[in-house]
């Protein structure tokens, strides 16, 4: 195989071997443009992680309702029926039979109050009837019917353990705090998603710009190969320069392949974060994104950033709610150490009738008879070891949570300092990278002029071109680093919503 035929193969390979991604870019009708705001909106509506997290506040709210329901009235009813038959002989040997029939019904309502007491109002009716069989008369005798009705009111109030609103509302307060934690965690998840989406979006943009840079280098390498072939024909250069140009062209094609693979991976990352990645999505990306923006944002004052970060930090807010929950647990633990002393008061109006239950209730409403009662009960576990141990555990947990809160604030301070410094460093690196590109472009043009005049070698020209490529790639690195540093500082500061002009009502999907 001669060198000219080899050169033809390399040229055809470089120009004709286009990947599906490159071919798709040629057909603009199949490619749509995805803006950053559209990506954010889709992510907020479809991201699976956020949809899962957004159910936690709903679950927590239902738990609050469950605790509130502990003070809802409860209706109850009871019904009893009993009957007995007994055959027996008296002292004279006469056969006798005794029957009894009793029935009772009750209906009431009970309600727990926030002081710890329980109020019960009820109405009951009982019926009894008994008779015996006289064999001499051949009939039942006796068996007077008795109907009894009662209207009752009873109140039981703990005097030590379970006494007071603070103790009895502690489970509700704890559930409300857990609901606030769920809301804060969901808001934190929104911020994490906004950061993730924007980072993935600009990384995809960076991948596209690297592809364009590689294509530009490929075109330049193709021209250099053509020039090297012409110079070889004219006897102005050797076959070595042509071979170097061919190798350089092959390297540019390899760079394009790597750049396209990076685009595929970055596209999948973005689609996954948007909640749009499924089995219907084509293997090759069918959308493009905006180019990397020029950063014109001034670095804010560190003190202002720090104040905003402490004010809007979700982690410390969540930890403070954890402390609130532990305080409620401490109230309950102290309550368990107290003796159980309950005072019960009861009163009822009663009515009796040999005719019917209705007459008995009429008697009760007329307050023909009444009962009242007073009760006092006491109980105390020996040693109260379990209650004391529970209280000590809670106190240790409170100490632990307070230390954790201090650690969170310390970590936040460190994160803010690092994010602010990284942004300042990224800005300096970006300015330096722009200067390097300008210098390398000037150097390349000088080397090209010298090469055309025969004052420089083709190898030196290629080295100058590679230096320019490295400088341009470093500029892309600096641009992406600057953007990611801005995003990270906004995340730490808690200003991502303002960065994108989003209100809280626009963020959470409906479960």
The pLDDT tens digits of the residues spanning 2-22 come to 444 444 444 444 444 445 455
Calculate the average pLDDT of the chain: 82
On the question of pLDDT at 130 being above 60, the answer is: no
Distances in Å between the alpha carbon of 374 and those of 255, 346, 351?
93, 7, 21
Lowest mean pLDDT among 28-37, 268-277, 474-483, 496-505: 28-37
Contact 458, 241 (CB under 8 A): yes
More confident of the two residues 314 and 283: 314
Mean pLDDT of 126-131: 66
Per-residue pLDDT band for 300 (boundaries 50, 70, 90) equals confident
Count CA atoms closer than 13 A to 147's CA, side-chain side: 12
Mean pLDDT of 470-483: 90
pLDDT digit string, tens, across residues 334-356: 999 999 999 999 888 777 666 66
3-state percent helix, strand, coil for the chain, nearest multiple of 5? 60, 20, 20
Q: Are strands 287-289 and 32-34 parallel, antiparallel or unpaired?
A: parallel
Report the pLDDT value the prediction gives residue 360, as an integer from 0 to 100. Answer: 62
Between 239-274 and 3-16, two packed helices, what is the crossing angle to 10 degrees? Answer: 20
Count CA atoms closer than 13 A to 181's CA, side-chain side: 19
Distances in Å between the alpha carbon of 139 and those of 96, 97, 131, 133?
10, 10, 10, 6
Residue 280, phi then psi, degrees to nearest 5: -90, -10
Mean pLDDT of 136-142: 49
Report the Cα–Cα distance between both ends of the chain, in Å, rounded. Answer: 68
Per-residue pLDDT band for 252 (boundaries 50, 70, 90) equals confident
On the question of pLDDT at 143 being above 70, the answer is: no
Q: Are strands 287-289 and 369-379 parallel, antiparallel or unpaired?
A: unpaired
CA 473 – CA 476 distance, rounded (Å): 5
Residue 434 buriedness (CB in 10 A; 0-12 / 13-18 / 19+): middle
On the question of pLDDT at 243 being above 90, the answer is: no
CA 345 – CA 198 distance, rounded (Å): 67
Q: For the stretch 198-211, what's the b/e string if a residue is b when 16 or more beta carbons lie within 10 angstroms of its beta carbon?
A: bbbbbbbbbbbbbb
Distances in Å between the alpha carbon of 434 and those of 203, 260, 273, 427?
19, 25, 32, 11
Q: Name the pTM for this structure.
A: 0.80
Q: What share of the chain in percent tops pLDDT 70?
A: 80
Mean pLDDT of 403-420: 95
On the question of pLDDT at 102 being above 90, the answer is: no
Mean pLDDT of 356-363: 64
On the question of pLDDT at 189 being above 70, the answer is: yes
Report the pLDDT value the prediction gives residue 2, as an integer from 0 to 100. Answer: 47
Lowest mean pLDDT among 151-155, 422-426, 452-456, 486-490: 452-456
Q: Which positions ≥6 away from 68 have C-beta within 8 Å?
A: 172
CA 262 – CA 451 distance, rounded (Å): 35
């Amino acid at each position: 195989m001669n060198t000219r035929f080899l050169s033809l193969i390399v040229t055809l390979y470089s120009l004709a071997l286009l990947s599906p991604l490159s071919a798709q870019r040629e057909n603009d009708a199949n490619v749509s443009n995805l803006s950053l705001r559209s990506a954010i909106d889709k992510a907020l509506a479809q991201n699976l992680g956020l949809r899962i997290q957004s159910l936690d506040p709903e679950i927590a709210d239902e738990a609050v309702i469950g605790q509130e329901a502990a003070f809802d009235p409860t209706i109850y009813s009871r019904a009893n029926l009993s009957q007995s038959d007994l055959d027996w002989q008296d002292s004279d040997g006469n056969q006798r039979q005794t029957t009894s029939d009793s029935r009772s019904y009750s209906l009431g309502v009970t309600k727990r109050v926030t002081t710890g007491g329980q109020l019960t109002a009820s109405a009951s009716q009982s019926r009894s009837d008994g008779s015996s069989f006289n064999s001499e008369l051949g009939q039942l005798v006796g068996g007077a019917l008795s109907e009894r009705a009662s209207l009752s009111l009873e109140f039981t109030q703990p005097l030590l353990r379970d006494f007071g609103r603070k103790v009895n509302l502690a489970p509700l307060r704890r559930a409300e705090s857990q609901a606030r934690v769920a809301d804060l965690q969901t808001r934190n998840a929104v911020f994490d998603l906004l950061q993730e989406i924007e980072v993935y979006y600009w990384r995809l943009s960076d991948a596209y710009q690297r592809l364009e840079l590689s294509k530009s280098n490929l075109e330049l390498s193709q021209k250099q190969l053509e020039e090297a072939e012409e110079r070889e024909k004219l006897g102005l250069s050797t076959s070595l320069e042509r071979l170097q140009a061919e190798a350089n062209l092959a390297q540019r094609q390899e760079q394009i392949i790597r750049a396209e693979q990076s685009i595929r991976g970055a596209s999948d990352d973005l689609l996954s974060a948007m909640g749009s990645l499924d089995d219907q999505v084509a293997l090759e990306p069918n959308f493009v994104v905006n180019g990397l923006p020029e950063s014109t944002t001034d670095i804010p004052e560190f003190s202002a950033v720090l104040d905003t970060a402490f004010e809007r930090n979700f982690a410390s807010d969540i930890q403070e709610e954890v402390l609130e929950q532990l305080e409620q647990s401490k109230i309950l633990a102290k309550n368990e150490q107290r003796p159980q002393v309950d005072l019960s008061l009861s009163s009822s109006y009663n009515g009796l009738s040999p005719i019917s239950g209705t007459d008995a209730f009429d008697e009760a409403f007329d307050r023909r008879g009444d009962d009242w009662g007073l009760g006092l009960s006491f109980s105390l576990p020996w040693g109260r070891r379990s209650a004391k141990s529970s209280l000590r555990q809670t106190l240790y947990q409170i100490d632990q949570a307070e230390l954790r809160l201090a650690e969170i604030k310390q970590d936040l301070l460190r994160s803010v300092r690092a994010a602010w410094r990284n942004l300042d460093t990224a800005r300096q690196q970006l300015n330096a990278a722009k200067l390097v590109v300008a210098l390398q472009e000037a150097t390349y043009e000088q080397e090209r002029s010298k090469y055309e005049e025969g004052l420089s070698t083709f190898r030196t020209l290629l080295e100058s071109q590679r230096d320019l490529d490295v400088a341009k790639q470093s500029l892309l690195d600096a641009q992406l680093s600057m953007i990611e540093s801005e995003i990270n500082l906004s995340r730490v500061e808690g200003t991502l919503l303002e960065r994108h002009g989003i209100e809280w009502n626009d963020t959470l999907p409906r479960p």
